[in-house]
Amino acid sequence: MDETTPDAAADRPRRRHSLPVRLTHWVNVAALFVLLGSGLQIFNAHPALYWGHTSTFAEPWAAMTAEPVGDRLAGFTQVGPLKIETTGLFGLSDGERRGFPAWATLPSYRSLADGRRWHFFFAWVLVANGLVYLAWGLASGHFRRDLAPARAELSPRRLRVEIVAHARLRFPKGAAAHGYNSLQKLAYLGVIFVLLPLMVLSGLGMSPGVNAAWPWTFEIFGGRQSARTLHFLTAGLIVAFVIVHLAMVLASGPIGQVRAMITGGARRGTLEGDQP
């Protein structure tokens, strides 16, 4: 005879994330953390971006520099025609000329060689992990079942309502909190099928070895420097996504959200918000 009471049954952990989702999620966290820090280390070797095939040093599209201002040295960040002083953060930090500060790079000391080793190794970790997730997602129906938005979910009214709800930090509760909403689905699909592939492909477009075998890897971007700039921009958009993702986790109940991503389930009542 089953002696489980209704209240006890209601208190059982409910699975929200499958094991493949949880494993690939945490591998992505580690890989992206190292890739960001090592990527900034590589960028610091020449903190400027260009468009096209060559680097026109006198006319960068974006740059972080240190220049004398009166009797002092100041850091500046320039994007297109806009140029602002960013002393202490970009261009000049801790009295040293460098694009990004030491605390943001891996390793923290100047070493282009070490930065490249870390970056290339974890880039392949990210690619392999992504292929595993992609294969599982297609085979299991995860993309179709959990991430593909229905037509009704893409209506302007529905999207407007969800944007306002998120802006007011109003998250669904109960059963509605165990699925992805329209904004989440569009954001995840954009990262999975647009930003990450573009970041990987533009990274390959900067490799002389890859270019020699497959010249199209940089030609499709209009040149190796354009590939480098797009690589930097897509990485920045992924960082922006992660920041918003973390903000939503904190706003909707971090303990329950993290528990769900570790164990796959969460007790009813601990997850009031939706899945960030």
Same domain, 232 and 213: yes
Task: With respect to residue 185, please indicate whether it lies within any of the assigned structural domains.
Answer: yes
| Interval 82-122: pLDDT, tens | 999 999 999 999 999 999 999 999 999 999 999 999 999 99
The model carries a pTM of 0.85
Total tally of structural domains belonging to the chain:
2
Same domain, 19 and 78: no
Is 1 contained in some domain? no
Same domain, 166 and 254: yes
In terms of residue numbers, what domain contains 69?
Answer: 60-99
According to DSSP, the β-strands at 91-93 and 82-85 are unpaired
CA distance 227 to 205: 6
Q: Which residue has the higher pLDDT, 255 or 66?
A: 66
Q: Is the same domain home to 159 and 33?
A: yes
What are the pLDDT digits (tens) for 34-71?
A: 999 999 999 999 999 999 999 999 999 999 999 999 99
Together in a domain, 134 and 65: no
Inside any domain, residue 54: no
Answer yes or no: do 30 and 150 share one domain.
Answer: yes
- 27 and 71 assigned to the same domain: no
Q: Are residues 92 and 174 in the same domain?
A: no
Rounded Cα distance, 233 and 221, in Å: 13
Q: Are residues 222 and 91 in the same domain?
A: no
In this structure, are 29 and 156 located in the same domain?
yes
In contact, 11 and 189? CB cutoff 8 Å: no
Q: Identify whether residues 135 and 43 lie together within a single domain.
A: yes
Residue 275 lies in a domain: no
